[in-house]
């Protein structure tokens, strides 16, 4: 059984003006996501600025999200690292904090071999009991996981159950699903490709768009699952201009700007991320209005 089906939000982490985690605001946005129909919360991923958090902050945020959600929907914790030892530590900590699953990015910078990737993921999976999603995003990590590697891990390691695919390589994704024989739970890692990946047997999306449009992102998936592919596709296409604006600078710069434009007061980014360029913020505000959010 899949960890979740539908739209999981790749949740931002709100900060105070002093740059500390804003826990009251975190509670608020988690509640808004649940009320908006989000099917799962993904805490401390790329969008949550996990790369600028200490391990203590990281696990504190995961614990807080788990406590707020209180098993109403699944919580998946980002716990990847380019160090297997650190990834094991974060994964065990997230499991102890109450996470229902883990999202583990390929180890960046090291450029492990395919055999190294298998050893890395197997070591982490052996250290925990909760299910694991691989996270394939070569544009950020510099590492490509072959389809055979993804399928081998899902077939041979009991608690590795699927992959968040953000490569954008439809041929590679089709190869995964061709080899998988049903053993890989596929999630889109790109908001502009939800429907195509659902058409290849995907279970849903891990979404940045859901931060600002949770109900609409959920409905794209739900309409597809209910057999109304035409409606699902129309909703996907309607969202494309907003999605493009949300990625006109590196994520999560635009989505935090969008939430602040919406009056959510989620605070600043942590360096080395900086505030959105004025011309891009104007574009973003225009698309939020066109989409009916502002």
Catalytic center residues = 135, 164
CB 210 within 8 A of CB 33: yes
Measured between alpha carbons, how far is 287 from 281 in angstroms, rounded to an integer? Answer: 10
CB 210 within 8 A of CB 7: yes
142 torsion bin: left (phi>0), alpha (psi -120 to 50), beta (else): left
Cβ–Cβ < 8 Å for 219, 237: no
Residue of 138, 116, 134 lying closest to 125 (CA atoms): 134
Q: Which residue is listed with tokens 């066109």?
A: 290
Q: Are strands 6-10 and 40-43 parallel, antiparallel or unpaired?
A: parallel
How far apart CA 58 and CA 90 sit, in angstroms, is 8
| Contact between residue 61 and residue 41 where contact means Cβ atoms under 8 Å apart | no
């Amino acid at each position: 059984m899949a960890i979740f089906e539908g739209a999981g939000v790749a949740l931002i982490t709100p900060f105070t003006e002093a740059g500390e985690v804003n826990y009251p605001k975190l509670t608020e946005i988690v509640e808004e996501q649940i009320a908006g129909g989000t099917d799962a919360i993904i805490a401390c991923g790329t969008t949550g600025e996990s790369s600028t958090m200490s391990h203590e902050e990281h696990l504190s945020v995961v614990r807080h999200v788990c406590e707020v959600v209180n098993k109403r929907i699944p919580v998946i914790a980002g716990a990847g690292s380019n160090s297997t030892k650190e990834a094991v530590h974060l994964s065990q900590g997230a499991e102890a904090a109450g996470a229902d699953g883990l999202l583990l990015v390929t180890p960046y910078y090291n450029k492990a071999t395919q055999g190294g990737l298998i050893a890395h993921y197997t070591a982490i999976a052996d250290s925990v009991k909760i299910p694991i999603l691989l996270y394939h995003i070569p544009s950020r990590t510099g590492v490509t996981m072959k389809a055979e590697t993804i399928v081998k891990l899902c077939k041979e390691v009991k608690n590795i159950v699927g992959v968040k695919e953000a490569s954008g390589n439809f041929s590679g994704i089709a190869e995964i699903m061709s080899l998988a024989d049903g053993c890989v739970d596929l999630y889109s890692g790109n908001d502009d490709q939800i429907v195509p990946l659902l058409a290849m047997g995907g279970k849903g999306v891990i979404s940045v768009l859901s931060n600002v449009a949770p109900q609409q992102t959920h409905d794209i998936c739900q309409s597809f699952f209910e057999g109304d592919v035409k409606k699902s596709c129309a909703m996907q296409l309607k969202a494309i201009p907003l999605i493009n604006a949300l990625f006109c600078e590196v994520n999560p710069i635009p989505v935090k700007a969008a939430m602040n434009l919406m009056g959510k007061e989620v605070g600043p980014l942590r360096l080395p991320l900086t505030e959105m360029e004025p011309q891009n913020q104007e574009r973003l505000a225009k698309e939020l209005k066109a989409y009916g959010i502002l």
